[in-house]
Amino acid sequence: MTAAYPATLDNVTTLAELLSWRASQTPKGEAYRQYNAQTQRWDSLTWAQAQERVAHWARALDAMQLDRGARVAILLPNGLDAMSIDQACLNRACTPVPLHAIDNPASVAYILADSAVSLLVVQTYAQWQAIEGVGTPLPALRAVVLTDDVLPTQAPSQPALMRLQDWLAGGDAVTAAVKVTPPVPEDLAAIVYTSGTTGKPKGVMLSHRNVLSNVKGVLSQVRPVPEDVFLSFLPLSHTFERTAGYYLPMAAGSCVVYARSVALLGEDLKSVRPTVLISVPRIYERVFAKVQETLAGASLKARMFAWAQEVGWRRFCRAQGLPVEDAKWSWCDALVWPFLQSKVAQPLLNQFGGRLRVAVSGGAPLSSVLARCFIGLGMPLVQGYGMTETSPIVACNRPDDNDPTTVGKTLPGVEVRIGENRELQVRGPSVMQGYLNRPEDTAKILSSDGWLGTGDQASVDPVTGRIRILGRIKEIIVTSTGEKVPPGDLELALTADPLFAQAFVVGEQKPFIAAVVVLNPVEWGRLASSLGLVADAPASLVAPQAVAAALARIKAAAAGFPHYAVPRAVCLSTDPWTIENTMMTPTLKLKRNNLMVRFAAEIERMYQR
């Protein structure tokens, strides 16, 4: 580690300098907190201790004598080890290749080969065995480090298989005389592979300058402070979490607490009580669905909940200078709010720890139903927009300047314009260097003068500068009758009904729109019982009365869409789509190609009726 620290954040030019600068500013401030399963306590690390830990890992890299820019793949859950190897790579001008900890072995093997990884850091030997078992040649891979320290009796010699403690011990022999050449702003800070909703993932090359400019831009909008606590649960393999949930708190000096698991997220939210939450809409959808389950059959509670949302939403709109919906009793909003806040709003906010100062939703669009619910009940929820290729954030709302129907205004230094077919185009210091090994794909999306085509249709308000996303260009469904339907918007509308946990809309070159839905087990149980069906029986999913009831709910949920966009056929399922079964990306977006293959027969039957 270098002993010379930049004077201010403005002078920091690489992510390697960022940690050194932070440790020099607040050495005793709490940097990280991670649960220790053995002691059943949370272990804490100061910024000075974090810097020391990273230095130890960096020396182990020195011992390997990797070439400058060498790729190091990180297949670890969020935690201190993932942070340490990432920071060590950045400090030694190596290039991290973050991988999703539960991605399938074939996808991981493809990325390791495509990016010519020299070192793989992985949690278990079983994971490595599964990757190796794919059979993809990995000629560049020199070593595999296992963080759980369990080795087979006879470890292979190529690539070298090492326990973490042995790998780190190798760095202890490295002398201070080893020359360390720090990275420069244009060096790669990561090769992040896109989620791959369709086709093979592409490696997005992001430089230190790309990512750091985005961090500084977000810092000016979200404005975290050293007293803030982030709860990290989105995968660090995704740029949204890397920038907003990892490097941003480092720039601000805030503490990052690593959630134990997504399954225990509800408990961690209540015990950690974060002040800043970086999340995707799916998390809010899950909480909303549970609330709807609780309210089902409790008419008085449901009416009070709806009343609280309405009053809270009007209060929010007045505070933000947005149009306020006219209502007969709106004059008494100020009088009734303290009661509604204590009885309805605060119990919901307590599910998130009760002290959120800002909650950021990104990675996918947030439905208006969710926005009205959570914002109306007092959550400081802001929506942003971005993509991996822009490091990733292009625009975002602020808690004090928030229009939830938009994704806010551009970050400082970022330019946008509307191109052909209403495509949003972006230019600025956070735009990627290109796709690894894919010059033709890079040329398709990135012009010679730096404008990146996002693939999203949008409009920009000429007065306020706010961006409104209208839909994906490539994902527009064109029916055989020539009607155009944005599937994402329709799917959001359908999943606002608590019966539907997930929805996938189809209809390309078909005579009408249809949907495949995953049913919420609790709501499905109630509906099945009311129809005289057994919820667990597979035959119930195709029973005419169940299909008719689902279509009626779909029609109501899609009431705001043109008649041609309302699904006329539905396939009911109870098996959730997950990352593990390859139906969802690591950021919880639908993998449309995979779903089309999985439900090919069912979709065909819907159009034969």
Give the residue from 154, 219, 176, 266 showing the smallest Cα distance to 412: 219
Please report which confidence band the pLDDT of residue 198 belongs to, taking 50, 70 and 90 as the band edges.
Answer: very low
Mean pLDDT over all residues of the chain?
92
**CA 255, 257, 259 angle in degrees (round to 5)?**
165
- pLDDT at 4 (0 to 100): 63
> What would the pLDDT profile of 88-137 be if each residue is shown by its tens digit?
999 999 999 999 887 789 889 999 999 999 999 999 999 999 999 999 99
Please report which confidence band the pLDDT of residue 7 belongs to, taking 50, 70 and 90 as the band edges.
Answer: confident
- State how far the Cα of 41 lies from the Cα of 501, in Å rounded to an integer: 34
Q: Which two tokens stand for residue 277?
A: 């939450």
Residue 393 phi, psi dihedral angles, 5° rounding: -85, 125
Residue 608: how many other CB atoms lie within 10 Å = 7
Per-residue pLDDT for 257 more than 50? Answer: yes
What is the distance, to the nearest Å, from the Cα of residue 293 to the centroid of all Cα atoms in its chain? 25
Give the residue from 182, 217, 160, 195 showing the smallest Cα distance to 87: 182
Residue 290: how many other CB atoms lie within 10 Å = 15
Please give the share of the chain, as a percent, with pLDDT higher than 90.
Answer: 77
Contact indicator for 206, 192 with CB cutoff of 8 Å: yes
User: What CATH number labels 280-472?
Assistant: 3.40.50.12780
Residue 456 phi, psi dihedral angles, 5° rounding: -105, 140
- pLDDT at 122 (0 to 100): 97
Four-CA torsion 87, 89, 93, 95, nearest 10 degrees: -110
> What is the pLDDT averaged over residues 265-271?
95
Task: Delimit the domains of the chain by residue range.
Answer: 9-207+235-250, 280-472, 477-606
CA atoms within 13 A on the CB side of 336: 17
What length is written for the chain? Answer: 609
The per-residue DSSP string of 482-506 comes to: S-EE-HHHHHHHHHTSTTEEEEEEE
- State how far the Cα of 452 lies from the Cα of 428, in Å rounded to an integer: 9
- pLDDT at 464 (0 to 100): 95
Fold that domain 477-606 belongs to in CATH: GMP Synthetase; Chain A, domain 3 (3.30.300)
- pLDDT at 107 (0 to 100): 86
Contact indicator for 446, 452 with CB cutoff of 8 Å: yes
Coil, strand or helix at 324: coil
- pLDDT at 199 (0 to 100): 57
Q: Which two tokens stand for residue 61?
A: 């890299």
Burial status of residue 301 (CB atoms within 10 A of its CB: 0-12, 13-18, 19 or more): middle
Does the CA dihedral 140-143-147-152 come out positive or negative?
A: positive
Please give the share of the chain, as a percent, with pLDDT higher than 70.
Answer: 97
DSSP-derived letter for residue 61 is: H
> What is the pLDDT averaged over residues 459-470?
95
The per-residue DSSP string of 407-449 comes to: --EEPTT-EEEE-GGGEEEEESTTS-SEETT-HHHHHHHB-TT
Contact indicator for 204, 249 with CB cutoff of 8 Å: no
Coil, strand or helix at 350: helix
Name the pairing type of β-strands 467-472 and 452-460: antiparallel
CATH classification number, 9-207+235-250, choose in 3.10.105.10, 3.40.50.980, 3.10.20.310, 3.30.460.80: 3.40.50.980
> What is the pLDDT averaged over residues 240-269?
96
- State how far the Cα of 340 lies from the Cα of 346, in Å rounded to an integer: 9
- pLDDT at 293 (0 to 100): 84
- Residue with the bigger pLDDT between 489 and 372: it is 372
- Residue with the bigger pLDDT between 528 and 480: it is 528
Per-residue pLDDT for 512 more than 80? Answer: yes
> What would the pLDDT profile of 125-167 be if each residue is shown by its tens digit?
999 999 999 999 999 999 999 999 788 777 666 799 999 999 9
Contacting residues for 536 by C-beta, under 8 A, at least 6 apart: none
Q: Tokens 């999943």 sit at which residue?
A: 495
302-306, 320-324, 485-489, 596-600: range with lowest mean pLDDT? 485-489
Report CA Rg, the chain: 25
3-state SS record for 2-13? CCCCCCCHHHCC
- pLDDT at 155 (0 to 100): 63
Per-residue pLDDT for 2 more than 60? Answer: no
> What would the pLDDT profile of 594-603 be if each residue is shown by its tens digit?
999 999 999 9
Helix axes 368-376, 281-295, angle to 10 degrees: 70
- pLDDT at 19 (0 to 100): 97
- State how far the Cα of 179 lies from the Cα of 527, in Å rounded to an integer: 69
Please report which confidence band the pLDDT of residue 176 belongs to, taking 50, 70 and 90 as the band edges.
Answer: low
Residue 370 phi, psi dihedral angles, 5° rounding: -70, -40
Residue 134: how many other CB atoms lie within 10 Å = 16
194-198, 283-287, 469-473: range with lowest mean pLDDT? 194-198
Please report which confidence band the pLDDT of residue 56 belongs to, taking 50, 70 and 90 as the band edges.
Answer: very high
Coil, strand or helix at 559: coil
The per-residue DSSP string of 130-157 comes to: HHHHT----TT--EEEETT----SS--T
- pLDDT at 78 (0 to 100): 96
Same fold, 9-207+235-250 and 280-472: yes
Q: Which two tokens stand for residue 357?
A: 């100062």
Per-residue pLDDT for 1 more than 50? Answer: no
